Chain A
């Protein structure tokens, strides 16, 4: 499973990363989280509001920080 967190370093992007790590831990899944901060790469996914969560190259959540429980549904 390839997970990417799209965002340019604002606090909500960090929170998304934290919540994603928490969700992975609670489900016992091993996966690396790649942080994408370059605008061109973020725009390539079509997301206009960061943070965004991408799982296996599909955008699952964009523009907000979901709870760890919500993230689990997408993993």
Chain B
């Protein structure tokens, strides 16, 4: 019985999440139609490019649709109501959890920040939400499963949430309320009636989200897959190992430092992460890179700078960056448990 369950799980993991059928299909294409061996550089990188691009686009469409549907039940206005009465670390935990299922684009960070603040939510809870939102969401969980397996995906989510909770709690303890921009505190709390959507409206919303996300990220995906293909087949192993391999004790720091100023969706960073991982870069280094890219993006930092003063903003960035680096080293140290 257990054997059958484990076989079903394997099948789901291989065929639906990893799409081995697609890899084999593209292999057939490259070898028989283009006449190239995938073991050679050119054939290998073409295979990687086509397979990864298609895989990511399929996953993107399906996942964004499903998750938007779920998220349509959790508009930020509802999150505000739920969090409104909770204080203390429970609030940070709930804030972090709700951050994962609340639909979020960086253009919402200002209204959400102001809204939570005016509703009286402690600053730290708002930040727990703002840290976990871009970092952890259902789509990234599933797509990480597809690329790196369930253990790593779940570990990433758990650690991301812990970072959000701790980060928010630290900000609470430091009592940084005075670093919120003045005008924010003057905005009154408005309780708006949450408009429930019909099923058709939710479907229309989800379809719209797929189109919107696609439109935003397709270029990043192609660039990411291109870089991934280069790493996969063209950049010598030795260079990668020296720069970000496990022999370099600063690999995690480097990966984080490079990731922070970069702005790309998780869908774009995945092929790069996958290729690096395939070349033997530590899982912690790879995850730090992805977290740095997604959790701290220039657009959302610019948005935040309009509602918080520079000191709070820099503390926020410092806490998240430090957390990412610690997580990276921890994952590298314990990678034998996960891989």
Contact = CB atoms under 8 A, between A and B. Distances in A.
Interface of A: 8, 10, 12, 39-40, 42-50, 59-67, 70
A48 B212 contact: no
Interface stretch (B1-9, B47-55, B200-208): B200-208
Nearest to B209: A64
Contacts of A47: 77, 111, 192
Interface stretch (B90-98, B112-120, B151-159): B112-120
Given A67-B204, A70-B204, A48 B115 contact: yes
Contact of B111 (A39, A60, A61, A67): A39
B82 to A, nearest CB: 13
Given A59-B195, A62-B195, A44 B201 contact: no
Contact of B190 (A46, A65, A67, A70): A46
A61 B196 CA distance: 10
Interface stretch (B102-110, B218-226, B233-241): B102-110
A62 B107 contact: no
Given A43-B115, A46-B192, A62-B195, A8 B107 contact: yes
B168 interface: no
Given A39-B114, A70-B204, A62 B190 contact: no
B16 interface: no
Nearest to A44: B190
B114 A49 contact: no
A49 B195 contact: no
5 contacts: A10-B107, A46-B190, A49-B108, A59-B195, A67-B204
A63 B74 CA distance: 11
Majority SS at the chain A contact face: loop
B28 interface: no
A65 B111 contact: no
Contacts of A45: 190, 192
Given A45-B192, A62-B195, A66-B201, A50 B107 contact: yes
Contacts of B84: none
B34 interface: no
A51 to B, nearest CB: 10
Given A63-B75, A67-B204, A70-B201, A50 B195 contact: no
A48 B76 contact: yes
B336 interface: no
A22 to B, nearest CB: 15
A50 B112 CA distance: 10
B187 interface: yes
Interface in B49-83: 75-77, 80
B111 A64 contact: no
Contacts of A43: 111, 114-115, 118, 187, 190
Contacts of A39: 110-111, 114
A35 to B, nearest CB: 15
Contact of B204 (A50, A59, A63, A66): A66
Interface in B104-152: 105, 107-108, 110-112, 114-115, 118
A45 B195 CA distance: 13
B75 A49 contact: yes
Contact of A48 (B80, B193, B195, B204): B80
A49 B212 CA distance: 15
B338 to A, nearest CB: 36
A65 B207 CA distance: 11
Contacts of B212: 12
A45 B204 CA distance: 24
